[in-house]
Structure 1
Amino acid sequence: MFVSLQFKLELRKEDREKLIQLMRKQSSAIRVAYNMLKELEKEKAKNPHAQIYHRLRQLFPELPTKYIDSAIYKAKQYPTDKPVVFGGKRLFEKLCKNHLTGKLRETLKKRWRELRQGILVSIGSKSDKGNRLLRFEDLNGQLHLRITTGNREFIYAKVLREPSNSKDKWITFMAMLLESWQTKNYFPYTVELKLRDGEVYGNVSF
């Protein structure tokens, strides 16, 4: 079974700024990884993942290693046989038009930057209590997402999500989380965060 669910995060102002900086770094790493993938495919290089990983570690030494692996994973989701415009081709084309000015142009530019720079993804792992870097935890009876920002540095964001109906898979996910916390028998789930209209939204897949 593969399920993907959406949610929203609530953060303190200072934590939100830390998260946005982290998103920018990994988004840059994703773009570098994608460009390297294209070049290494042309060269028919052996073990491209290792080469890309080594290069990203050099360029982004402050990023936890799991974010590096996850950046490569995300880069592999884009097609390499045709041009990719990070931030969206349509938005980019609109921004290139000279007649756009003022508030409309600034709105489009902000949206393009969010799409281009506002991504943070972490691949799940059973051995890491479900997810090492973006992990759901219970704090005082409320669901939070623990976000790793550095070496043993974390911020916590409140998860805003309620089941829409009795068949909502979120109920299943919460039951699985609760059982894993109680039994210590964890399951992997992948989390991807995105910036949209100044708010942080998430997607969990398991």
Structure 2
Amino acid sequence: MFVSLQFKLELKKEDKEKLIKLIRKQSSAIRVAYNMLKELEKEKTKNPHAQIYHRLRQLFPELPTKYIDSAIYKAKQYPTDKPVVFGSKGLFEKLCKNHLSGKAREKLKKQWRELRQGTLIGIGSKHRTAQGNLLLRFMELDGKLHLRISTGNREFIYAKVLREPSNSKDKWITFMAMLLESWQTKNYFPYTVELKLRDGEVYGNVSF
């Protein structure tokens, strides 16, 4: 069974600024990975992952290596047989038409920039040391659910997770039960977390 659930994060101002910088770096890495993937497919290159990984390590030396692997994973989800506009083709076309001005145009530009530069993804892992997700890990802190966000060099941001079950059948209840059991038994399960910027706030999606 594959389940995908949404949630929102609450962060301190300084932590949000750090997170946004990290989000923008990985978003750039995703775009570079995608463009390289298209070119390497044309050349029918064997093992393109290794070449893309090496190049991203050169371009983004400050980005933790697991974020680079996750960026390549995300890039592979986009079609390579047709043009892809990062940031929404519809918003891009509206901006190009130049019929808006002032606050309306700035709002549209902000939306486009958030979509283009607003993705951070951490792929789930079965490995015991990853505890479900090495980069973006759910954990309990002061009796509340938090997301531990790795920023590299063994440094982390702890963001409070804002999510309540909408009804008794909400799969969030199942996810919470699975998390609690994994913490108690040390028998972890992989879950992938993707964060998105929207209207200046950080939202998340967890898939398991």
After TM superposition, is the score higher than 0.5? yes
Alignment of 1:108-147 (within 5 A): 108-127=108-127, 128-147=130-149
Structure-1 separation of matches of 2:167 and 2:173: 9
Match of 2:55 in 1: 55
* Aligned-partner residue type, residue 44 of structure 1: K
The runs of 5 or more residues in structure 1 that have no matched partner are none
Structure-1 separation of matches of 2:115 and 2:72: 18
Match of 1:38 in 2: 38
Deviation at 1:65, TM superposition (A): 0.8
Deviation at 1:97, TM superposition (A): 1.2
Structure-2 separation of matches of 1:125 and 1:99: 47
SS at match of 2:97: coil
The percentage of aligned residue pairs carrying the same residue is 89
Match of 2:2 in 1: 2
The runs of 5 or more residues in structure 2 that have no matched partner are none
Find the partner of 2:186 among 184, 187, 190: 184
SS at match of 1:126: coil
Give TM-score scaled by structure 2 length.
0.98
Structure-2 separation of matches of 1:4 and 1:175: 15
Give TM-score scaled by structure 1 length.
0.99
* Aligned-partner residue type, residue 26 of structure 2: Q
Structure-2 separation of matches of 1:149 and 1:200: 16
Structure-2 separation of matches of 1:65 and 1:89: 30
* Aligned-partner residue type, residue 115 of structure 1: L
What is the CA deviation profile of residues 146-202 of structure 1, one whole-angstrom value per residue up to 9, with x for unaligned ones? 000111010100000000000000000000000000000000000000000001000
* Aligned-partner residue type, residue 63 of structure 2: L
Deviation at 1:98, TM superposition (A): 2.3
In the TM superposition, structure 1's runs of 4+ consecutive aligned residues that sit over 6 Å from their partners are none
